Amino acid sequence: MRPPRWTRWSGCCSPIRRVYSSRRRSAPNHWLAPPIPPSVHRKRGHEGPAVPRRTAKGAGPHRDPSVRGGQMSTVLEVSQAAAAPPAPERHWRPVVWTLPPLLVVLAIAVYPIARVLAESTVTPSGRGTGVWADTLTSAAFRNALWRTVSIAVASTAGCLLLGTFLAVVLAFVPFPGSALVGRLIDTVLTLPSFLVTLAFTFLYGTAGAVNALITEITGRTTPVLDFLGTPLGVIAAETTFFTPFVVRPLLAAFAQLPREQLDVAASLGASPWRVLRQVVLPEAWPALAAGGSLVLLLTLNEFGIVLFTGAKGVLTLPALIYTRGIVTFDLPGAAVLASVQVALSLTLYTAYRVVFARFTAARGR
């Protein structure tokens, strides 16, 4: 009678299975441990790694009987030492690459300011602080400082209002020619400031096109519009020229707003003014603050518009510096005024950075 199939196969294959299992137990399991460099073997004084192996399914690793007791811990220490990250090396290349821009900044910005500060201490008898005391206590300096700050603040407020209105219209009110209007606003950024003043003179001057049209219609002999020679004319010209510096960041911020958020707010019954006030403007506040701070710094240092308008009684700090340094050749006095101008600009910029950082941190919480 022929034996069953399972007994026949188990009987013929059991010796092979026993031989294979015995060979597997006697052979070291090199694949169970990470490879160790040959240099480590030579340093420790043995040819191959003593690695753990498994005796049965599910059993933990144990040492090979052919390996001495102290070699297992030695191999583990060597593998840990080999896996440790190497010590960081010092690279001098980044330091070398930072030197050229640092030297350029020192030559362009730091050295001229240092020379201005040194010139401000020059007196007829040598060096001292007498020029500072005379300049800072003069009535001309106080009037110029007040006029500079007031015109800058008024122009910045006008730019924020006009720029926000234009950006909202261009972004959320579709109309034919909106792309052309946006390109024209960008074109203003490429023009020098005195061209805006000349355009205002041709339009709103005493002999400008607007006054000529009003005179022809009404028959008056005196011009109706005569504001270019006043601080209002300077504010109007600066507002016209610096408004694109507010429009462009706001348009970029509005482009990142999700339309779904606006649609949800409108579907919940919010009016357009409420959507603008509670949804749009809070998201665009960083762009609005950045544009406003830039306009404030630019208007504080604006010289071309004030000079070309020829406004009587409008003497700002840049105009006073020009008068002291070029007209009267009072270089120490002009250096003192220039130092005050630089300090004022740096103070406003630092204040903006601090306020912006705190606001960003508060929103992140």
C-alpha 267: how far from chain center: 36
- Here the tokens at position 84 are 């440790």
**pLDDT(55) > 70:** no
Beta-bridge mates of residue 53: 62
Domain region containing 184: 139-364
158-200 pLDDT per residue, tens: 999 999 999 999 988 888 888 888 888 888 888 888 888 888 8
Domain annotation covers residue 157: yes
Alpha-carbon gap, residue 84 to 71, rounded angstroms:
20
Arithmetic mean of pLDDT over the chain: 78
- Residues 254-266 have a mean pLDDT of 84
Overall residue count recorded for the chain in this entry? 365
- Residue 38 belongs to a domain: no
* String of DSSP letters for 56-90: STTPPEE--TTS-HHHHHHHHHHHHHHHSPPPPPP
Residue 31 lies in a domain: no
**Could you tell me if residue 304 is inside a domain?**
yes
For the cut 80, the answer to whether the pLDDT of residue 314 exceeds it is: yes
Computed on alpha carbons and rounded to an integer, the radius of gyration of the chain in Å comes to 40
Q: What pLDDT, on the 0 to 100 scale, is given for residue 80?
A: 52
Residue 53 within any structural domain of the chain = no
In the chain, the amino acid numbered 319 is A
Using CA atoms, how far apart are residues 365 and 345, in angstroms rounded to an integer?
31
Give the domain CATH number at 151.
1.10.3720.10
Mean pLDDT in residue range 254-283:
85
Residue 20 lies in a domain: no
With 60 as the cut, is the pLDDT of residue 13 above it? no
| Top-confidence residue, 226 or 57 | 226
Give the separation between CA 91 and CA 332, rounded to whole angstroms.
Answer: 46
Q: Is 78 part of any domain? A: no
User: Is 52 contained in some domain?
Assistant: no
| pLDDT value, residue 358 | 81
